Amino acid sequence: MAISVGDTLPEATLVRIGEEGPEAVELGPLTKGRKVVLFAVPGAYTPTCHSAHVPSFIRTKDQFAEKGVDEIICVSVNDPFVMKAWGETTGASDAGITMLGDPESAFTSAIGMNFDAPPAGLLARSKRYAMVVEDGKVTSLNQEENPGQCEVSAGETLLQSL
């Protein structure tokens, strides 16, 4: 069953590249007592993710901060090395967006947002969505019907829900 508004995020460990290499990021402490935007994409460097979804959050980052959002996090079922390189390529890292990998799709599966698209070579990937999480609880959730579209999950659309 997919996560919905009012649900608490499950305990999960995501991964990023730190100063000394890969490091675990516990989602619970990251969201505790904070307002966070978490958006997910089917894959780093894939067309819609690269040209529309990430740029929408780069464009709106300051507006989210004005609305009290402490951090914007991008999650993808990719390894942390890919997420680091993608954050640098898109400018997301320079913009202050946190790029986290869910390499085993554990978090994505736990919240019921996983899907497969074998013809595109995408297995155990994340559906495209964006959510606002306050103190670990989902307060807003926008999920795309089609993973190739970025409309309801775009930064501008999520910003309107705040």
The residues annotated as belonging to the active site are 49
CA atoms 79, 81, 117, 7: torsion sign: positive
The alpha-helical segments, DSSP class H, found in 13-91 are 27-31, 47-48, 54-66, 80-90
Instruction: Please report, as a single letter, which amino acid is at residue 88.
Output: E
Residues in the chain: 162
- Other C-beta atoms within 10 Å of 45: how many? 14
In terms of Cβ atoms closer than 10 Å to its own Cβ (0-12, 13-18, 19+), residue 19 is exposed
